[in-house]
Amino acid sequence: MIDCQPSTSGGGEGKSADEIAFELAEGVIQSIIKKIYTDNAHPHLFKRDKKDRLPSLTTVLMQEVDRFNKLLALIHSSMNNLQKAIKGFVVMSEQLEEVYRAFLNNQVPIMWSSKSYPSLKSLGSWVHDLELRLDFICIWIEHYHPPSYWLSGFYFTQGFLTGTLQTHARKYDLPIDQLKYDFVMQKLFIDQELIKITHDAEKREVASAYGDLTVPLDGVLIHGLFVDAGLFDNLSMTLVDPNPGICMLRERGYAISHVKMCKCKKFKFSISSISVHLDVGILGKARTEVITT
């Protein structure tokens, strides 16, 4: 994991800003793969149906690979150029200067974030998160579909959601615009970091890393969703009030305990001080105002 060090140090014994930036660039180069290769892709990923169509989720996967590879090329190109600029081999351009300053402030360079998926993480956390995402995609390519998909790890989440609907539509010859999602919660918490640790140790997909999961015949299992203004209780299998100090929940109309379903918006990252109005439940079309803090 990359840790950003302070750009200045007391007593004159610390590393210079150039040394810190150079080492951080080297850390990125060593931590992040240069490219996702599909040469060793599992053959079943490309098994066509009776109408000679590739599986919808294979199309989603290949699109994810293309997006990540473009980002990886940009990252490694900028790191190599930054190191050359620090050594004086090339001119420190305005873009490289921005990368240099971002590194010293533990921030993701704009050069990367403008071409990347949405994220509010600091530099070290962002690089580690990218490692997790790349592991998720690479294992999927080599060892076929995972027991559960890490929804937070997709570059373009909407593509995956559409792909799952299209898979079901093709299987039962249904119009995709007539399909809607339904959800069945599982009594299991999956940590993607622990899954990557298993992948690193075994060099393959390991079903036991996902716990006691049974892959459904229709639909998919996902993990990586988080709830603001509430908690999910594994005993009652319902949404309950949040712990004190996390957020506020103000109800209008029917109380949440009186309804069966909760329709809420999904965000790719959390932003503090946002008010979101949700249509909650089936009974009475209750209105709930959620304020995150």
Top-level class of domain 16-144? mainly alpha
pLDDT in tens, the chain (293 residues): 455 554 444 444 678 999 999 999 999 999 999 999 999 999 999 999 999 999 999 999 999 999 999 999 999 999 999 999 999 999 999 999 999 999 999 999 999 999 999 998 999 999 999 999 999 999 999 999 999 999 999 999 999 999 999 999 999 999 999 898 888 888 888 899 999 999 999 989 988 889 878 888 999 999 988 777 777 888 888 888 877 655 443 333 333 344 456 666 666 665 543 333 333 333 323 332 333 33
The model's pTM: 0.81
**DSSP state letters, 9-48:** -GGG-S--HHHHHHHHHHHHHHHS-S----TT--GGGG--
Q: Give residue for tokens 């506020």.
A: 248
Tokens standing for 53? Answer: 């169509």
Domain coordinates in residue numbering, the chain: 16-144, 146-269
Query: How far is it, in rounded angstroms, from Cα 177 to Cα 165?
Result: 9
